[in-house]
Amino acid sequence: MTEDANIPPETPEQAAATGTLAARIALKQRAGGITVPVITAVVAFLLGGLVVLATGHNPLLAYRDIFDGAGLNWIFHPTTNVANTAAYNLTQTLLQTTTLILCGLAVAFAFRCGMFNIGGQGQYFVGLIAANWIGVDFAHMAALPHILLAISAAILAGALWAGIAGVLKATVGAHEVISTIMLNWIAIWIAEWLFGDGGPLQNSTQPQVPVSNAISPSAQLPVFWGAKLLQGLDIGIFIALASLVVYWAILNRTTLGYEVRAVGFNPEAAAYGGINVKKNLIRAMAISGAFAGLAGAIDMLGYLYQFGQNDVPVSQVGFLGIAVALLGRNTAVGVLFGSLLFGALLFGTTHGLTSNVIQPELAGNLTYIIQGLIVLFVGADVLILYVWNTRKRMWPRRARVAEASA
């Protein structure tokens, strides 16, 4: 950016091209409102449909089956009876949504401080590990304190894990992307070691099975929709929804949030205004990690109960959080809708899918393709600004009214 230091940016577009990440995101938030994410998602689905079409399947029927697989057809015949396939599938989609809300918040919070937390997956794993450990080892506690202890431990673990990246960024200027990628893989291998044969958290009664012990019933979250044995929907979703409110409140209604956003928007100006930039970088990263750690705890206490070595490389929720946050433009409401979309895709293309049109193995990979396309398009400012400006040209009066009110 040094080469641009002497040239003042003339337009917001130019400022976006040269400014900090958060400044560019802020600009994108002004540009287009909800239109751009919707267009992005639609284009990604269209391109994904082209892949499906090119490989000899009917994309419309495939998407209809995925829609049904996610249980979204439940809205046509609402029922609370999980013997109904649609209702059951919907509970499973909502389980995925719960995790994705929290993983999305983990990415979004760091974004608002101008950092890219790519390490949600690792922070999720340390939370999962901490929750499993507390859930298994403190088996004689009463239910409520046990759950609270496990959740707090997971939050703390996630915050500390992400805090390493924050401290490195604040003290020696190590780029958070590199350190969080490294921390991801360290956490992944530690999880494989812990849950693998001979690992400290591996099942003590069956030494040949690379799966952890199941947490004690006192640590399991209550299930309110469906049966516990059939992986019903637990109260974790309310914790996730509450986290959305907390996220919004921290950012918009507290001094901490103000400082975090100020640092994200322009660190030099924030420092000039008396804000301790280093402290806020560490704080923002730790809070990010806390959200991801909470996601791990909710998964472990809510429906997984145990975790296997083979599940470790399969899990992608931390990375999906990136797509959720970007699509949701780092706002609480956006993250909620992004999580619903990806939660539905995640379950609807895999376990929920029964289809003659497209196999679950194919459709599961379609999710990654759509996810990749969405992330690719959402990251392109110039494309978005082009769309935004076209919209202004097409409806000049309405755009001016919208700008005047903003």
Q: Is residue 277 near another protein by the rule CB under 8 A?
A: no
In the complex with another protein, the residue whose CB is nearer, 55 or 80, is 55
Subset of residues 282 to 301 that bind another protein, contact rule: CB under 8 A: none
Q: Is residue 65 near another protein by the rule CB under 8 A?
A: no
Q: Is residue 308 near another protein by the rule CB under 8 A?
A: no
Q: Is residue 399 near another protein by the rule CB under 8 A?
A: no
Q: Is residue 193 near another protein by the rule CB under 8 A?
A: yes
Q: Is residue 354 near another protein by the rule CB under 8 A?
A: no
Separation of alpha carbons 62 and 64, rounded Å: 5
Query: Binding string, 76-105, against another protein, x = CB under 8 A?
Result: ------------------------------
Q: Is residue 371 near another protein by the rule CB under 8 A?
A: yes
Q: Is residue 12 near another protein by the rule CB under 8 A?
A: no
Contact 188, 317 (CB under 8 A): no
Residues 72, 77, 82, CA angle at the centre, nearest 5°? 75
> In whole angstroms, how close is the CB of 364 to another protein at the nearest point?
7
Matching residue, tokens 């490294």: 182
Subset of residues 100 to 119 that bind another protein, contact rule: CB under 8 A: 116, 118
> Which residues neighbour 179 within 8 Å (Cβ) at sequence distance 6 or greater?
119, 164, 165, 168, 169
Which of residues 277, 362, 399, 402 is near another protein by CB under 8 A? Answer: 362
Q: Is residue 35 near another protein by the rule CB under 8 A?
A: no
Size of the site for another protein (CB under 8 A): 62
Q: Is residue 51 near another protein by the rule CB under 8 A?
A: yes
Which of residues 15, 21, 143, 271 is near another protein by CB under 8 A? Answer: 21
> In whole angstroms, how close is the CB of 250 to another protein at the nearest point?
24
Contact 109, 284 (CB under 8 A): yes
Separation of alpha carbons 270 and 287, rounded Å: 19
Which of residues 247, 373, 387, 388 is near another protein by CB under 8 A? Answer: 373
Which residues of the shown chain bind another protein in the complex (CB under 8 A)?
A: 1-4, 7, 14, 17-18, 21, 24, 51, 55, 116, 118, 168, 172, 174-175, 177-179, 181-183, 185-186, 188-190, 192-193, 196-199, 313, 319, 322-323, 326, 359, 361-362, 364-376, 378-383
